[in-house]
Amino acid sequence: MRLCKARVTNYRSVIDTGWFDIENAKTIMVGPNEAGKSAVLQALQQINPPPEVPKFDPLRDYPRSKYNDISKKTIDPKDVTVVQVEFELDDEDRAAIPESMRSARYYFYRKLDNTGVHGLHEAPELPRYSSISKDLIRLCAHTDPRKPTEEEGFSPTRDLATITTGWGDNTTISDDRAQALKAWLDKVLPLIDESNDAEEKRWESLALTTKIHLDRAAALHELQNRVPIFVLFNNYFRVKPQIQLNHLAQRLSTNLLDDAQYDYGNVCLLKLLGFTAQELSDLGNAAQPAANDPDAIQAHRDQLNKRSYELNAASVQLTKEIRSVWRPREGSADADKLRIIADGQYLKVVVEDDVGVEIELDQRSEGFQWIVSFFVVFFAEVGGKHKNAILLLDEPGVSLHGLKQREFRSTLTRLSENNQTLYTTHSPFLVGPDELDLVRVVEMTDRKLGTKIHTTVASGDPAALLPLQEALGYDLAQTLFTQERNLVLEGLTDYWYLDTTAALLRAANLVNLNEKIALVPAATAGKVVYFATILYAQKFKVAALLDSDNAGDQAAKQETLVHTLGNKGILRTKDAYTGPVANPEIEDLLRETLVKIAKEALGIDVSAEAAAQPNRAIVDLFSAASSDFSKYKLAKAYIRWTRDNSASDLSSVELAQFKALIEKINKALK
């Protein structure tokens, strides 16, 4: 199952984040310090935390400004919802639950008193008594004359009256009520005249009303067992290169809480190995048994062998996983091996390089130390369930150089291929220019309102958007004066539509957008001229793609732009569009697909309007249908769609239009 949306309320700096979407693979949460990013991750972990992770504590976790409500008992922790999530079911989940529930979405809420609430959205509704009461009366009228003698102890009308005592019209047929009604129906079945089709169908219909509850209960039981473990990792959880076992055992036995978070990585390493600190310490102190005691010698040898085998197995597992995601040297096999060695009272973590030299872990890069510590905590906390875990990473790679963070971004991407990943950052280098649709902006502009999370790239706090602005600025600086061929686009959504659709057509071998062409979003149609002029002044080949709406018309007629690019260098969406819209935008080139995506992903259905008004721009139809419509949200939904679909899922008209557009771009910048 996949986490698809979440909401945090009443937790530390968070009053109410509002619902925010979670991506299928990687979700990036950006924002300034003290915005509440870490608090959100900590709350999310409580949906299904690993064993031994501290639970919610009202004194520590309820917003301090509102704590008097709890101390005065005007608010009960059992009534306070802290974190809410919704999951989409995958094929394995659906196959494991009753067929009637397979279209549902599963939700789970965690309360401040650590109790959980779960249920199903978009599942068949539980019937109410009012919907079946008449059928029950008619079934009783049919079966009462055919009932056994009173000595046999069953009377349909009398027994039904006992079951339904206290039921009102709005009483739902669930839990014990459904069970009791099902048992009553089973007793009634033999009394129904087999030749009476109407009563047979009535009984079947009533039996289905009880089955809805049973199916729902079975689905909830199965899905609760399938909820992923939420693994939170932050930079405090470091595995030290050398652990003094006796000292660690003493700290743990005396519960020295001041050192707990700094020892956490080491404790996880021991958990992964299957030993406690005290056990390894005792083995290091154990004296050689007497030579005349073969049983003691064998027991001692078995203990040492077990320790050796566990250390070796953990070393192999960690090495394998680290190699799968840590590839700092392009073209290298990266043969470094991680080794965990027990030496008396010391447990050492060393790295053996490709020539056999062993060095302590702390002499490797910060990024490598981070990834080793992460995997130790990860495997220790989830045990054998790491394939069903969600990763919550708090400021990963924060100590890396900026350019190294750009490389580390690919490591995070590889992690998310097997485990859904959410990570926080305020570094522009951990947000790729093609990852803006994965970003959730976290801000806290007012302490009274608390932390807010925006699914769109919008914020009232300039500091919250700074990482995105820096990421785009850096990428633009890297590409603006490095590519000989440049296509200037009106804005970011135009960039997304062209880039992702071109990738679909390239994968299908239909047409190939010249990969040497840099796509440069200019923010607005009016700014296209500035970008084009600067690039042209550097003697680069430049073309501009403008929508055929009013803004595009005004930009296309600017004397400077025409003089700079010439008419052949100014491309318009209408040049590739074949439909009846007079002033098409780039969205009109994907009209049929966007209508479907808007209905499924945004809940905006303009199917009828689009069919009835084919000459009206599709963006106008969306805007008229919903006051909350956003071109940004639509473009982001299209990006998601392209990740799970291919060019063959576009209509033939859309394929032809984009093929024509790409060919014109290639020709203009050949």
Q: What is the DSSP letter of 170?
A: T
% of the chain beyond a pLDDT of 90: 35
What's the residue count for the chain?
Answer: 670
Pair of tokens at residue 610: 């689009």
Rg of the chain over all Cα atoms, to the nearest angstrom: 32
Q: What is the pLDDT of residue 495?
A: 87
Q: What is the pTM of this model?
A: 0.67
Q: What is the DSSP letter of 238?
A: P
Q: Residue 258: which pLDDT band, with cuts at 50, 70 and 90? A: very low
Angstrom distance (rounded) from CA 221 to CA 101: 12
Largest CA distance in the chain: 104
Q: Which residues contact 202 (CB under 8 A, 6 or more apart)?
A: 135, 138, 139
Going by C-alpha positions, the residue among 371, 503, 331 that lies closest to residue 434 is 503
Mean of the per-residue pLDDT values of the chain: 83
pLDDT in tens, 174-201: 888 888 999 999 988 988 888 899 999 9
pLDDT higher than threshold 90 for residue 656: yes
Going by C-alpha positions, the residue among 491, 514, 493 that lies closest to residue 502 is 514
Mean pLDDT check: name the lowest of 300-309, 492-501, 630-639: 300-309
Q: What angle do CA 189, 194, 198 make, to 5 degrees?
A: 85
| Own/partner long-range contacts of 594-602 (Cβ < 8 Å, ≥24 apart) | 594/618, 594/634, 594/638, 597/634, 597/637, 597/638, 597/641, 598/622, 598/634, 598/637, 601/637, 601/640, 601/641, 602/626, 602/629, 602/633, 602/634, 602/637
Angstrom distance (rounded) from CA 114 to CA 55: 7
Q: What is the pLDDT of residue 228?
A: 93
pLDDT in tens, 419-446: 899 999 877 778 876 677 788 888 887 8
Q: Do 112 and 61 touch, CB atoms closer than 8 A?
A: yes
Average pLDDT over residues 4-25: 93
Angstrom distance (rounded) from CA 85 to CA 87: 7
Q: What is the pLDDT of residue 560?
A: 60
Going by C-alpha positions, the residue among 155, 201, 207 that lies closest to residue 182 is 207
- Amino acid identity at 440: R
Q: What is the pLDDT of residue 468?
A: 56
pLDDT higher than threshold 80 for residue 598: yes
Q: Residue 16: which pLDDT band, with cuts at 50, 70 and 90? A: very high
Q: What angle do CA 426, 429, 431 make, to 5 degrees?
A: 75
**Between β-strands 485-489 and 517-521, what pairing exists: parallel, antiparallel or unpaired?**
parallel
Class of the 1-125+420-461 domain? alpha beta
Q: Do 545 and 571 touch, CB atoms closer than 8 A?
A: yes
Angstrom distance (rounded) from CA 539 to CA 636: 34
**Between β-strands 2-11 and 81-88, what pairing exists: parallel, antiparallel or unpaired?**
antiparallel
pLDDT higher than threshold 80 for residue 662: yes
pLDDT in tens, 312-360: 888 888 888 777 777 655 444 444 788 888 877 888 888 887 777 888 8
Mark 12-51 as b/e (b = at least 16 C-beta within 10 Å): bbbbebeebbbbebbbbbbbbeebbbbbbbbbbbbbbbbe
Most confidently modeled of 209-213, 216-220, 258-262? 216-220
Q: What is the pLDDT of residue 286?
A: 63
Say whether 181 sits in a helix, a strand or coil.
Answer: helix
Q: How far apart are the first and last CA of the chain?
A: 47
pLDDT in tens, 268-284: 888 877 778 888 787 76
pLDDT higher than threshold 50 for residue 459: no
Mark 546-583 as b/e (b = at least 16 C-beta within 10 Å): bbbbebbeebbebeebeebbeeebbbbbbebbeeebeb
Q: What angle do CA 280, 284, 289 make, to 5 degrees?
A: 120
Angstrom distance (rounded) from CA 115 to CA 632: 38
Q: What is the pLDDT of residue 257?
A: 44
Q: Do 316 and 375 touch, CB atoms closer than 8 A?
A: no
Mean pLDDT check: name the lowest of 311-325, 343-357, 449-463, 568-582: 449-463
- Amino acid identity at 209: T
Average pLDDT over residues 135-144: 91
